[in-house]
Amino acid sequence: MTNPFTPRLILGSGSPRRLELLAQIGIVPDAVTPPDVDETAHGGELPRDYVKRIAQAKIDALDAGDDIVLCADTTVAAGRRILGKPADAAEARRFLTLLSGRRHNVITAIAVKRGDKVWTRDVQTAVRLKCLTGAEMDAYIATGDWQGKAGGYAIQGPAAAFVPWINGSFSAVVGLPLAETAILLTAAGYPIYGDAR
């Protein structure tokens, strides 16, 4: 039975991975409304500042009254360099070559809005890829799994075979840090646990 006092939850993202992650903690948004936001990085912008700015821009682009809105943005950072979603297979290969055999950071910023109040958090996870051979890169790129993925790979897909070590939140690397998301949704008045929705 739906509780009439429970606010509606709108997911401001077109990512199927974020929907799947929310489902892991029993949350099904009432609506999915991806905002139209320019995700171009500014010259000299640091990766953490970039994801925080984009998550904020996404939340600002959606006006939902008293409904609760959840938005997020994820990027891969090789040092100070932002590795967004590759434009094509050649760029995906360049990203994988850069990340091969080294640690990098995956940063996800989340923003939750209800009315005029906004709660934000960002989570940084260190990830190391093994040294990749040309054949491994070719085989991975042929899967097409790199498309639409920051840094040109997805840890929950075939590229999992390339990741021997992470330090931090696995769900944040996938695209939504669940512990922090639950905290922010609770702060906004969304009853995550024990609600008969």
Catalytic residues: 73
Decide: 104 and 151 in contact? Cβ < 8 Å: yes
Cα(171)–Cα(158) distance, integer angstroms: 16
Tokens 């590229």 belong to residue = 159
How far is C-alpha 173 from the chain's CA centre? 7
Residues 197, 189 contacting (CB under 8 angstroms):
no
Angle in degrees, 0-180, between the axes of helices 134-143 and 89-99, rounded to the nearest 10: 140
What is the length of the chain?
197
* Strand boundaries in 129-195, DSSP class E: 165-167
Closest to 180 measured CA to CA, from 138, 100, 120: 120
Helix (H) or strand (E) holding 99: helix 89-99
